[in-house]
Amino acid sequence: MGKVATRDGESLVGFTTESSCAILTYDDGPDHNETTRILSALSEKGAKATFFVLVRDLTCSISLLREILDEGNEIGLHGDTHRRLPSVTARELEHEIRDSRHLLEDVLGESVRWFRPPYGSQNIRTWRSVCDAGMFPVLWEIECRDWEDRPFSEYLQPIRDHRENGAIIALHDGFAGDPRKRPKILNRRRLTEEIIGLLQDKGMDTLAIGAADILPDCSRRTRIWLDRVDSPDEVS
């Protein structure tokens, strides 16, 4: 049994540590093209990450999930339908969180400890549901806005600007938004390579959440994160 969130809305956003590290996370996959490319970039750079997966189409993705784990990465849950959880019924919430966790754990054969709410959108009801299902809500401190087409250097600016150890960085290996808005020119493999390169220039290793959580000098950095107001385009 891991540590549980105790204050209403308490969510993990990073780690306080003397170790030079950052935490990479990917949402909305697995995706047969993008996830494979990102896994190969991570492997070449000696980096690890946590992948928050959607359980829709899970039976088509079992080999990909196995590949994520076999490379030393970690899998968390991002739900099923990628709807904003505060807007769903009690029964739908049960499906997005508890049923989806059981399904994912059955496929993986191991426990799933982390949950990232779609769009970073949660209220006290959905937060409690995640905690009651035995998972810890995970949000982030850095996002690169990789759900939209922008000049490449703009994706990297939040990484360049950041100095503090232990930040959780939110990225995507899939796209769960309106297909017409899917980024057309973004090379996600290159983005991963450049982010890891910038972090390495700062002397930072890249870790999955579970690996940071067991570092001896590391404590969880949490924030009360409730009722986030998003722009309609956001796809986290």
* Helix-helix angle 34-45:62-70, to 10 degrees: 10
Q: Are 31 and 93 in contact (CB under 8 A)?
A: no
State how far the alpha carbon of 160 is from the alpha carbons of 14, 50, 113, 164, in Å. Answer: 17, 21, 30, 11
Q: How far is the CB of 9 from Zn ion (least distance, A)?
A: 19
- Per CB under 5 A, does 141 bind Zn ion? no
Looking only at residues 188 through 217 of this chain, which bind Zn ion when binding is defined by CB under 5 A?
none
**Which of residues 54 and 196 has its CB atom nearest to Zn ion in the complex?**
54
* Amino acid (1-letter code) at residue 83: R
Q: Report the DSSP beta bridge partners of residue 24.
A: 169
Cα–Cα distance, 225 to 236 (Å, whole number):
15
**Which of residues 84 and 98 has its CB atom nearest to Zn ion in the complex?**
84
* Range in contact with Zn ion (rule: CB under 5 A) among 57-65, 67-75, 153-161, 169-177: 169-177
**Which of residues 5 and 176 has its CB atom nearest to Zn ion in the complex?**
176
**Which of residues 27 and 205 has its CB atom nearest to Zn ion in the complex?**
27
- Per CB under 5 A, does 173 bind Zn ion? no
* Amino acid (1-letter code) at residue 22: A
* Range in contact with Zn ion (rule: CB under 5 A) among 5-13, 58-66, 124-132, 175-183: 175-183
- Per CB under 5 A, does 118 bind Zn ion? yes
The helix (H) or strand (E) run that includes residue 209 is helix 209-213
**Which of residues 29 and 204 has its CB atom nearest to Zn ion in the complex?**
29
Measured in Å, how far apart are the chain's first and last C-alpha atoms? Answer: 28
How many other CB atoms are found less than 10 A from the CB of residue 80?
20
DSSP character at residue 191: H
Q: How far is the CB of 140 from Zn ion (least distance, A)?
A: 11
Here's the x/- map for Zn ion, 21-50, by CB under 5 A: it reads as ------xx----------------------
Q: Residue 174 is encoded by which pair of tokens? A: 């899939």
**Which of residues 116 and 220 has its CB atom nearest to Zn ion in the complex?**
116
State the residues that interact with Zn ion by CB under 5 A. 27-28, 118, 176
